[in-house]
A and B are shown apart, each in its own frame.
Chain A
Amino acid sequence: MRRIISILMENEPGALSRVVGLFSQRGYNIESLTVAPTNDNTLSRLTLTTTGNDRVIEQITKQLNKLVEVVKLVDLTEGAHIERELMLIKLKATGAQRAEIKRTADIFRGQIVDVTSSVYTVQLAGTSDKLDAFIESVGEASILEVVRTGVSGIARGDKVLAL
């Protein structure tokens, strides 16, 4: 099962390599990973998506918690949560395709953020599924380049992952 694990960790050199190293060392998957400092610049927020059965996920969270630089973590998929991923996608846009891509981008509530005579660059935010669906809709043939940020997430309601 797919899980989104959100980690608050010390904003120190080497901390990220310990998290990433743990996954390769213990044979766990990382599907996506995103990291940046928070409003408190001594802390970084790292969100990663992984897959595994309950036992594997329990081990992953325990092993992550053991890392000295990990301050707190939460498995967002255990409760209601919001997940978002940002994609920038560069598409061939000539002739009839131009209108079609514009329409599709509108349907997905994407924005065209850069235009040339033959290329549109579309910015799209949403769940990973939504980004996958957009890629499928525009079709492999028109895609020139895809950049995705990986998943960021936050719990719904009062739940907060902070110090």
Chain B
Amino acid sequence: MELLSGAEMIVRALKDEGVETIFGYPGGAVLHIYDALFQQKGITHVLVRHEQAAAHAADGFSRASGKVGVVLATSGPGATNTVTGIATAYMDSIPMVIITGQVQTDWIGNDAFQETDIVGVTRPIVKHSFMVKRTEDIPATIKKAFYLASTGRPGPVLVDIPKDLTSPALTYEYSYPAKVKMRSYNVVTKGHSGQIKKAVDLMMTAKRPVIYSGGGVVQGNASHLLTDLVHKLGFPCTNTLMGLGALSGEDKQFIGMLGMHGTYEANMAMHHADLILAIGVRFDDRVTNHTSKFCPNAKIIHIDVDPASISKNVAVDIPIVGPVDQVLAEMLEQLEKTDERNDKAALDAWWKQIDAWRAYHGLRYETKPDILKPQQVIESLWRVTNGEAIITSDVGQHQMFAAQFYKFKRPRQWINSGGLGTMGFGLPAAMGCLVACPDATVACVTGEGSIQMNIQELATCLQYRFPVKIINVNNQSLGMVRQWQDMQYQGRHSSSTYEESLPDFIKLTEAYGHVGIKVTKPDELEDAMKEAFSLKDRLVFMDIYVDPSEHVYPMQIKDGSMRDMWLNKSERT
């Protein structure tokens, strides 16, 4: 066996896990580890400009690739800077391993320089965490961290390692465990066949069914099975914000996103359904509106790998706990065998109703000759990229417009912070996507508010030549805040505008060594968009001025049912 220092063990364990790239920022408590990184080949380190961005980049890498993202940060402020990124990953169940340096063992608890109890700080936002006590435990702990992060309902796992454990002066025998066994952690590997049978029987009696699928289908690599199921059943399918792309946005049976800013047809269909087949979703408040009024006539089947998601917000009739891919595969098998079929006339009538709803609203918006609407920007982006780009997003109106108007064809094409709603996520996440898919076209849809929350990453993008296309939907205000202020606070725009303090984004981009393109008029947009995407190897920052008064519609009305929506500024259901 080889003798390795703790720092070398960390690097070697990552290699043994198949890790090729990590995202991080050096500092005192991790210097031994950085020295070990320097002296090896095989793992590339991406130096971000703020640890929050390292976490978002690792998260974006994971979302785009399905692999575990890895973050390395130092103790104290390095570790606390990752907190927002960890919480973002936790809320969206993204597998991630965060390695933080800690002050040396005998200083812990003494308020040492750059000491923070990061295990304590992050306790509510990690799937699990470890503080390593002995150098010999490093390989097994890292093995456990990857295993926990990537199995069951995935999530971030933090490993805190005191500096003395990584010292080059002390070496130990290294071996990487082949398997992990934890008596207190047992993942469900198979859904209950009897429950699946019950679900299939119920599905065959449905007259107004809706398939409601979410991020679990993307994370569980089950999109192809979902697509088969949707086609086999002939049911309409809606995706959550996290589930977009699991069924192609161009599929005839796709009725759009549902929820707070879901399509009219998706929300109406949910409300009037007699059966909801919920797959890899968690009945989030941004979907259900008031839970007591949620889908009053529907029986609900819920498939999820996490038993705690079942009947948490909404009581369900047939729970199926298991990995989404396994359950869907068995459901398809059982469907193949059954002679039962849905009442075709009823299903036809249901589709007729849904088509009528679709025709009624269908994400209509009005254009103006002199100023762009944000929706036009997304539609142009979709055309110019042939609907093929990986789109990362920040948080706000632009995020909702991107979700509504970009028709995602495949899973892992739409990368956004759905659960936590983290502004500043988009740009670093795009860097992670480019590490995962170096040949892909990656665009970050953002706003002038969100982009300023991690704009320092423009420097990282230059250093590593990440040719992100930044689509800055610039409405010169915090658009979603402003929309709520318009709708609920009689238009009092409290702290949602910048009083002429916006930077010149073009000059700023150029200062960082990139290309900037400014668009102010509707007729300039398409050509500018084409020009931006023709610059394959460059980061291009498109600063696109849009109508600040535009609102996102539909918008569910608080405390109502799913069908209670504003459809535009003056019309409600």
Within 8 A of B (CB), among A18-32: 18, 21, 25
A68 / chain B contacts, CB cutoff of 8 Å: 127-128, 148, 182, 184-185
A9 / chain B contacts, CB cutoff of 8 Å: 184
Would you call B290 an interface residue if the criterion is a C-beta within 8 Å of the partner chain's C-beta atoms? no
Closest residue on chain B to residue A13 by CB atoms: B131
Instruction: Mark A44-66 against chain B: 1 for CB-CB distance below 8 A, else 0.
Output: 00000000000100110011011
Would you call B169 an interface residue if the criterion is a C-beta within 8 Å of the partner chain's C-beta atoms? no
A18 / chain B contacts, CB cutoff of 8 Å: 123
Q: Besides A14-B129, A17-B123, A65-B308, 12 other CB < 8 A contacts? A: A9-B184, A21-B123, A25-B124, A55-B311, A59-B308, A62-B310, A63-B308, A66-B308, A68-B128, A68-B184, A71-B183, A163-B183
Closest residue on chain B to residue A26 by CB atoms: B124
Interface of A is mostly: helix
Given the complex of chains A and B, what is the CA–CA distance between A18 and B148 in angstroms?
Answer: 16
A75 to chain B, nearest CB (A): 15
- Chain A interface (Cβ < 8 Å from any Cβ of B): 9-10, 13-14, 17-18, 21, 25, 55, 58-59, 62-63, 65-66, 68-71, 163
Given the complex of chains A and B, what is the CA–CA distance between A37 and B316 in angstroms?
Answer: 38
Tell which of B131, B307, B310 touches A65, judged by Cβ atoms closer than 8 Å: B307
Number of interface residues, chain B, beta carbon within 8 A: 20
Given the complex of chains A and B, what is the CA–CA distance between A25 and B125 in angstroms?
Answer: 10
B312 / chain A contacts, CB cutoff of 8 Å: 59
Within 8 A of A (CB), among B110-161: 119-120, 123-124, 127-129, 131, 148
A14 / chain B contacts, CB cutoff of 8 Å: 119, 129, 131
B184 / chain A contacts, CB cutoff of 8 Å: 9-10, 68-71
Given the complex of chains A and B, what is the CA–CA distance between A55 and B308 in angstroms?
Answer: 11
A59 / chain B contacts, CB cutoff of 8 Å: 308, 312
Given the complex of chains A and B, what is the CA–CA distance between A18 and B185 in angstroms?
Answer: 15
B127 and A62 form a contact (CB under 8 A):
no
Would you call B306 an interface residue if the criterion is a C-beta within 8 Å of the partner chain's C-beta atoms? yes
Closest residue on chain B to residue A163 by CB atoms: B183
A62 / chain B contacts, CB cutoff of 8 Å: 307-308, 310
Given the complex of chains A and B, what is the CA–CA distance between A2 and B307 in angstroms?
Answer: 23
Given the complex of chains A and B, what is the CA–CA distance between A11 and B5 in angstroms?
Answer: 28
A21 and B308 form a contact (CB under 8 A):
no
Within 8 A of A (CB), among B149-186: 182-185
A42 to chain B, nearest CB (A): 9
The 9 nearest A-B residue pairs measured at CB: A62-B308, A71-B184, A68-B128, A25-B124, A68-B185, A21-B123, A62-B307, A63-B308, A66-B308
Instruction: Mark B179-197 against chain A: 1 for CB-CB distance below 8 A, else 0.
Output: 0001111000000000000
Tell which of A10, A55, A66, A71 has the most Cβ of chain B within 10 Å. A66
